[in-house]
Amino acid sequence: MSDQNSKRDIGESYSLDNMASDGTTTLKIGQSDASGASPYTINNTTSSRWRDFKDSFKRCEGAISLNDEEELNGLTDIEKANIITSKSPLQRKLKGRHLQMIAIGSSIGTGLFVGSGGALNTSGPLGVIIAWSLTGLSIFCTIQAMGELAVTFPISGSFNVFASRFIDPSVGFAVAWNYFFQFLVLLPLELVAGSMTMEYWHTGVNSDVWVLIFYILVATINFFGVRIYGEAEFAFSFVKVIAVVGFILVSLVLACGGGPTHRYLGATYWHDPGLFANGFKGVCSVFVTSAFSFGGTELVGLTAAESENPRKEIPRATKQVFWRIIMFYMISLTLICFLVASNNPKLLGASSVDVTASPFVIAIQEGGISGLPSVMNAVILISVISVGSSSVYATSRTLTALAEQGLAPRICGYIDRAGRPLVAILITNVFGLLSFIAASGKQAVVFDWLLSISGLSSIFTWLSICVAHLRFRRALGVQGRSTDELSFKSQTGVVGSWFGVVLNTLVLIAQFWIALFPLGEAPNASGFFQSYLGFVVLIIFYFGHKVWKGNWILFVRAVNIDVDVGRRELDIEALKEELLEEKRELAMKPFWYRWYRFWC
């Protein structure tokens, strides 16, 4: 059969179209109808999809960098940083539901589920309540301040850049690198905690096998971009929220004597062994533990640069933090204090990677409920994967922002066409390989020293956010501007930020005292540096930056602070009109709706 006959046999005609602009090749088969369209088409998109996948790893074009002499010529370092971080090519793919769930449950992990056990043993029930209450109140004020800044300036690096912009570049440099180290260390810590969680079920599998599985899962989530991270965090946080709510309900039943053992405990453990385990010093010693458990709450600020509509979504996510503090921390921990004695032998020697000392699991076990401890351990497992994934997100975005400002190797600022800070993600994942010491038996020693580098990092970060907010408000006043041009204002205002500054400063002083004179031990250099090495590192970075850049100012003067670059809404007058209209519309709504919008 000739080629011409073959052509007729399959429908009179066929044509191979030229390659389209998107790379697809279309094969049309059959007789054309009156409109000229063919009844059958075969689209060969495989090669196109593969090429798009490969091309997505290429550097994003059009992004401003420190090499753009024409764009940045004659500007100061602060002005360059403000412009570059405001024009970062990170993709805005996080929706409101992602941000709200990240705010509610992103950092609920071993700090709450496991670390609270050691704190209960050290400080007693009332000590736990005091430490977590004060820290929670400070966090609420801090996140309100961060929300105001992040909504006004949804830039790459968020609060790490705010410290440079509104306080001093040396402060921003030191705080950002400490924050980077905090989450860099947290990744292997959580992977090891995950492998230890699996030991609860006596699988007999080598710990490093589980580390490998969790490592691949965490790396994959972040490798596929911010949208997948958002969806994964939404699912993980949803499970954690449901678990904590379920635990609260079960705990209420157990506390009232409705469990299988029918034991009515009441306030028994508050009388024996007592309200405090080690007096005032015991309370002071657990503030860092409470800070560790709240660590990551500020993560919603980093998402501002990748959210679809930060003006609408960040305020709602910020307000969710209040409910998270009340329900998922204060209520659950209060119930724990009624169900688990502070001198319970299972709490002795509890550490951040010892999941067997979780007071949540102990409470259910001693309540006589079978099956639920396994469920709670499964939730802890999900939590460590979630926090591990958030660690990769936090470190990669922080390192990218540092590179964009010229404060880290330039290659670390590489963002590909899919909006992924690819090099920063790879660096974080390479450091995560440290988690494979899980089977060595030396993990506790290694992680104690790693955590000492960044153990105070959350407190430094929160302190810098509050100070940056105060400096921003000061700059507005000095420059004749008002808060009317802000689409979201901190509900706690400058008073809340001052409270955050004072409390975080007092915590640092208390921790210095504990580091010098540790609880139940003689003063020693090793114990001091394990408790306070983070402050030493911060000081080294601070003065190191001043020597490097020749920056000897104490703080940026309010009159010189830039309060415009990086704003999403450039027309301030139009924004004011829009805000007034929204207020008028809200005033016409029922009281219950206005009350809901205020708190949620």
Q: What is the pLDDT of residues 54-84, one digit of tens each?
A: 777 778 776 666 666 566 666 777 777 778 8
Which residue ranges in the chain fall short of pLDDT 50? 1-42
- Asked whether residue 565 is assigned to any structural domain, the reply reads no
Q: Which residues pair with 25 in a beta bridge?
A: 44
CA distance 444 to 353: 8
DSSP 17: P
Tens of pLDDT, residue by residue over 278-290, are: 889 989 988 888 8
- 449 and 594, same structural domain? no
CA distance 176 to 460: 10
- Asked whether residue 62 is assigned to any structural domain, the reply reads no
- 409 and 374, same structural domain? yes
Torsion sign over Cα 227, 228, 233, 234: positive
- 17 and 111, same structural domain? no
- 549 and 595, same structural domain? no
- Asked whether residue 522 is assigned to any structural domain, the reply reads no
- 239 and 200, same structural domain? yes
CATH number of the structural domain spanning residue 339: 1.20.1740.10
CA–CA–CA angle 476, 480, 482 (5° rounding)? 55
- 114 and 172, same structural domain? yes
Taking a C-beta distance cutoff of 8 angstroms, is the pair 180, 427 a contact? no
Rounded to 5, what percent of the chain is helix, strand, coil?
Answer: 70, 5, 30
List the domain range (segments joined by +) for residue 574. 570-600
- 580 and 552, same structural domain? no
Tens of pLDDT, residue by residue over 239-276, are: 888 888 888 898 888 888 887 877 777 788 898 888 99
Q: What confidence score (pLDDT) does residue 447 get?
A: 64
CA distances from 558 to 94, 119, 477, 545, 563 (A): 33, 41, 9, 21, 10
CA distance 169 to 175: 10
- 238 and 89, same structural domain? yes
- 400 and 293, same structural domain? yes
- 356 and 215, same structural domain? yes
- The structure's pTM equals 0.86
Within 10 angstroms of residue 4's Cβ, the number of other Cβ atoms is: 8
Distance of alpha carbon 23 from the chain centroid = 39
Number of structural domains (the chain) is: 3
Q: What confidence score (pLDDT) does residue 27 get?
A: 42
- 318 and 240, same structural domain? yes
- 346 and 198, same structural domain? yes
Distance in Å from the first CA to the final CA of the chain? 75
- Asked whether residue 518 is assigned to any structural domain, the reply reads no
